[in-house]
Structure 1
Amino acid sequence: MGWIGLDRMPERYRLPVLIYLHVATICLSLACVAYLYSDYHIFFRRDGLLSAIVVAAAFSTVASLFVYAEFSFGYFAGFYLFTMIAGYLWLNQFSEFIYNHTLSGLSAAASAVAFLLPALFIRSRLPQYWTLSPKALDRLVDVILLLGAVVVSVGATYDFQLVSIEHIYEYRESLRSPRALNYLMGIMSGALLPFAFACCVELKKNRRAMVALLLLLAFYPVTVSKLALLTSAWLVVMTILSRVFELRIAVVVSLLAPLTVGLLLFALFEFGWASYQIAIPYFGLVNFRMIAIPSLAIDYYNDFFFKHDLTYYCQIGLFKPLMSCPYDEPLSVVIYKAFGIGGYFNASLFATEGVASIGALFAPVAALACGLVIGLANRASANLPPRFVMVSGAVLVQLLLNVPFTTVLLTHGAILLFLLWYITPLTTAERSSDKGYPAPGLPTSR
């Protein structure tokens, strides 16, 4: 951590300093994003700066939860969602949409706390009544890799487009894959292949780990998705970070480092030391699309659903046949048509299960329910090495920023991954801590 001098700081101060530095970096990044992307209704005004700083500082007190909590999947997911809410509270001070900004801001902050309390602190082990044998786990990894190859091959017969990331939205409308195949691809890329990769890393089966990465990358021309393009690199980065840093610090660094790089590139561009083609594509991908867009989605959804009918969860496929719904199209399409933004606007649990479904006033109730589900995932994975949980759940954490919670659970296979965590065996009953001690490995097959 010498890049910011934390290696010379007492250990107990490193995590809180990093977290508060991260919050400040979010705010600075959003101010820079507003300079380039005001067409997306992202604004920054000096006359609102003081109130924005006060709100950001007040919400930063929530960060103390991350200082006292141990690492878990909920810690990983919770920190990313905390980042998103911090970003929204900053944007909320400059938003020009007309709705009750005070209510929505308080609701967002309360939703964050309601989610974080169970997601961070429900961690006790579930009793394991049955686990895979080492040999069965080894075979399961092979089956996942084989199934992944079959799914991506079948998908390629319907759609295969080698396009640059700037032209993704031009081709996405032409995708022809059947719904069942889309579900399989979502589950495979969101849960099963990351699980197989994490197993191979833990078992030191490097060739099969590489196969998993190549299969994940092969989903990009089939799905024309930014996440598919970056998933393999993301898993490699999280694997490296999990070995270099204590896991809680690795979580913070996984966001703070790319944000900081984006800001440095933006500064180089502003001072004329780097061209637009060198600096802004990275800044647009990371600082804008990865960080700002999930926060901005809450602003859009608040504006729309303060003026239109709530869904009361009619957008969930299982409920649609059972209840009437004011919207015939997916919410991402509804928001896209309402605001004319570039691309469909999926949103996280705070915007979809919260604001869109039951309104800003009751959104914290939905956040609490989602946090309890994540707490159950913590319990299912409590017997596993924390490093393994971090790597295998890394894609789901990214999805939670941009996709409704129920969609992550079902369409992207989170429930299946939680089940796999529960039945995955260990060589020892002793669980490694997240304090930097060596983690016990998964069982080595013979």
Structure 2
Amino acid sequence: MSLYYKLDTKQIAILAYACSATCCLSLACVSLLYPEFHIRYFSGALWLATAVTAVFACTSYLFGLARFSLGYAIGFYLYVMILGYLWLNSFSDLPYNHAVTGLSAAASALSFLLPALLINEPLPRVVRLSERTASRGLTLILIVSIAVILVGAWYNFRMVGIDRIYDFREALAFPTPVSYLLGITSNSLLPFAFACFALRNNLWRAGLVIFLILLIYPITLAKASLFAPIWLVGLTVVSRFIDARSTVVLSVFAPIVLGLLIFFLVRQGMLPYSTITYFGLINFRLIAIPSVAMDYYNYFFSTHESTYFCQVQFVKALVSCPYTEPLSVVIYKFFGIGGYFNASLFATEGVASVGTLFAPFSALACGLVIAVGNRLSAGLPDRFILISSAIIAQTLMNVPLTTVMLSYGGGLLFLLLYLTPREMFHPGHVDQADLKTSVA
């Protein structure tokens, strides 16, 4: 009896729709704990919020129609973010044109999703590496990662509880090259290596990668580095039993449901209040905050000048910019709450850069960039694409696409996926590097 399940088009669409409804319920609960973030809920606007999100959630049928690709996971996480914004937008107390921004957000989501989900034909593979060369490349990735971690630890290595990281993180100062290398290593190189080792059953090396990712936490004091190993291992285990498309949807649905269960049990006095921390990390920080950022950016740029992409480092060097500080700092200083508000491509490359009217065109361009990644990675196993891009896909909920591609190694990941020999993952394939070692 097979333990592997693959949902069909209709089942995926139903699961995605159920996930959408659960996200809205979660946001209503979040409003009870975090009203200071302008997260609102009141019964008078419930009919509007329900109607708007129900109509937009019809978009989820695309996830039933599309086959899995690099853009599938990225697209679903960003779909959830826009759905959350449309819900929050119906209750928002920030004074701007909510009808126009809601329509713009929905149009931007569709503009992004259509190329990101549907353009996935393979590109000709002009460069083909042998599996022996690829195996040596994985060893090189480990060596480079260890070197980057050692250099980063020279500047900072501090074992701090997650509740105290903000007491020290502002004081961190890495040279720009080291900062870039740490971002590329943790978000692209090590997840890629982990996916290779895990799917080829090189469990000791996969374990080493997990340990290296954990070592980045005391260096950067970034929560993402602390939870990335859990995320990677979790997706690896779940995708062993269900298909990649179902895994993506459940990776949002299941954590939210657990958070809601904890929320209601705490409210009923059946669990200690300390357990609400999970709800704060998942339902609030992971799911709600990216949508809240859309609300903040829409309000701020309804009365302030657009950036016209001057927040991108190499563009800033060529043109004058109305903002001397990073946008995350500008937004934080304006609202005075929530820390530095990095935001997704919809908020940054869209609303901030070109305004509400032209945001869908910017989203279309971003979707085409992801479509290039689809074509470069075509032919690799779905499970491998899912795991190797797992951290980048999550990061895109809170970080602009240009930053992810350059500073977080997204462009490098695209290249690695293109160069990876497809025969490495064929059933019954023998790893020649391991075979040579065992013979020796």
Measure the CA separation in 1 of the matches of 2:423 and 2:85.
44
Equivalent residue, structure 2, for 1:42: 39
Question: What is the rounded CA distance, in whole Å, between the counterparts of 1:357 and 1:99 in structure 2?
Answer: 17
Q: In the TM superposition, what whole-angstrom CA distance separates every residue of 1:301-341 from its partner, at most 9, and x where no partner exists?
A: 00000010100000100011110001000000000000011
2:437 counterpart residue number: none
Equivalent residue in structure 1 for 2:160, among 134, 148, 163: 163
- Report what 1:366 is aligned to: 362
- What is aligned with 2:295? 299
* Equivalent-residue separation in structure 2 for 1:369 and 1:105 (angstroms): 20
> 2:345 aligned with 1:349, yes or no?
yes
CA distance in 1, matches of 2:340, 2:82: 21
Q: Give yes or no for contact 2:160–2:218 (8 Å, CA) kept in 1.
A: yes
Partner Cα distance (1:246, 1:71) in 2: 9
Task: Give the corresponding residue for 1:184.
Answer: 181
Does the C-alpha gap of structure 1 residues 356 and 94 become closer, same or farther in structure 2, counting only changes over 3 Å?
A: same
Gaps of 5+ in 1: 1-6, 433-438
Q: Which residue of 1 aligns with 2:54?
A: 57
TM-aligned CA distance change 1:100 to 1:12, over 3 Å:
closer
Q: Which of 413, 419, 437 is the equivalent residue of 1:417?
A: 413
Would the alpha carbon gap of residues 100 and 170 (structure 1) be closer, same or farther in structure 2, given more than 3 Å must change?
same
Say which SS state the counterpart of residue 325 (structure 1) adopts: coil
TM-score (norm 1): 0.94
Superposition deviation, residue 161 in structure 1 = 1.9
The equivalences for 1:105-144 within 5 A come to 105-144=102-141
Q: Structure 1 pair 372/441, CA: closer, same or farther in 2 (3 Å)?
A: farther
Letter in 1 for 2:344: S
Q: 2:383 aligns with which of 387, 402, 405?
A: 387
Residue 12 (structure 1) shift: 5.0
2:336 matched residue in structure 1: 340
Distance 1:260 1:67, change over 3 A: same
Contact 1:426 1:443 in 2 (8 A): no
Q: Which residue in the other structure is 1:99 paired with? A: 96
Q: CA offset at residue 445 of structure 1?
A: 2.6
Task: Give the CA deviation at 1:11.
Answer: 4.9
Question: What's the CA shift for 1:444?
Answer: 1.8
1:349, 1:403 within 8 Å by CA — same for their partners in 2? yes
Is the 1:427–1:441 Cα contact (8 Å) retained in structure 2?
no
| C-alpha deviation, 1:342, in angstroms | 2.5
**For residue 205 of structure 1, what is the aligned residue in structure 2?**
202
Match in the other structure for 1:277: 274
Contact map agreement 2:101 2:356 (CA 8 A) in 1: yes
Q: Is the 2:52–2:87 Cα contact (8 Å) retained in structure 1?
A: yes
* Percent of paired sites with the same residue: 52
Contact 2:141 2:190 in 1 (8 A): yes
AA in 1 matched with 2:149: V
Cα displacement (A) at 1:441: 7.7
In structure 1, the partner of 2:230 is 233
2:85 is matched with which residue? 88
Q: Structure 2 CA distance, aligned partners of 1:284 and 1:203? A: 36
In the alignment, is residue 152 of structure 1 matched against residue 111 of structure 2?
A: no
Aligned partner of 1:79: which letter? F
Q: Distance in 1 between matches of 2:166 and 2:398?
A: 16
TM, length-normalised to structure 2: 0.95
The AA in structure 1 aligned to 2:310 is: C
Most deviating of 213-222 and 162-171: 162-171
Task: Measure how far apart 1:13 and its partner are.
Answer: 3.6
The one-letter amino acid of 2:402's match is: T
* Separation of aligned partners in 2, 1:356 and 1:407: 14
CA–CA distance in 2 between the matches of 1:111 and 1:443?
45
Deviations for 1:236-271, whole angstroms, at most 9, x for unmatched residues? Answer: 011112111111111100000000000000000110
Aligned partners of 1:425 and 1:442 also within 8 Å: no
Separation in 1 of the partners of 2:9 and 2:245?
A: 12
What is the rounded CA distance, in whole Å, between the counterparts of 1:108 and 1:230 in structure 2? 29
Q: 1:393 to 1:441 in 2, by over 3 A?
A: farther
- Cα distance in 1 for residues equivalent to 2:428 and 2:396: 27
Aligned pair in 2 of structure 1 residues 110, 37: CA closer, same or farther (>3 Å)?
Answer: same
Give distance in 1, aligned partners of 2:237 and 2:229: 13
Which amino acid in 2 is paired with 1:119?
Answer: A
Match of 1:436 in 2: none
The C-alpha deviation readout for 1:361-404, integer Å capped at 9, x for no partner, is 10001100000010010000002111100000000001100001
Report the equivalent of 1:26: 23
- Inter-partner Cα distance in structure 2 for 1:14 and 1:443: 36
> Which stretches of structure 1, 4 residues or more, deviate above 3 A after TM superposition?
9-13, 439-443
C-alpha distance 153-115 of structure 1, shift in aligned 2 (>3 A): same
Distance 1:335 1:203, change over 3 A: same
Residue 261, structure 1, aligned to residue 278, structure 2: no
Contact 1:385 1:440 in 2 (8 A): no
In the alignment, the residues of structure 1 paired with residue 194 and residue 428 of structure 2 have an alpha-carbon distance, to the nearest angstrom, of 14
- Deviations along 1:269-310, one digit per CA (max 9) or x if unpaired, are 1101111112x1000000000000000000000000001010
SS of 1:168's partner is: helix
Q: 2:316 corresponds to which letter in structure 1?
A: K
1:287 and 2:274 aligned: no
Going from structure 1 to structure 2, the CA distance change for 1:391 and 1:442 (only over 3 Å counts) comes to: farther
Match of residue 444, structure 1, among 428, 431, 439: 431
2-side partners of 1:381 and 1:412: how far apart? Answer: 18
Q: Distance in 2 between matches of 1:377 and 1:13?
A: 26
State the alpha-carbon separation in 1 of the partners of residues 154 and 98 from structure 2: 48
- Show the counterpart of 2:398: 402
Deviates more, 1:149-158 or 1:113-122: 149-158
**Residue of structure 2 equivalent to 1:3:** none
Deviations 1:49-96 (A, max 9, x none): 011000011101111111110011111100000000000000000000
Question: Would you say the 8 A contact 2:8–2:64 is kept in 1?
Answer: no
- Amino acid corresponding to residue 172 of structure 2 in structure 1: L
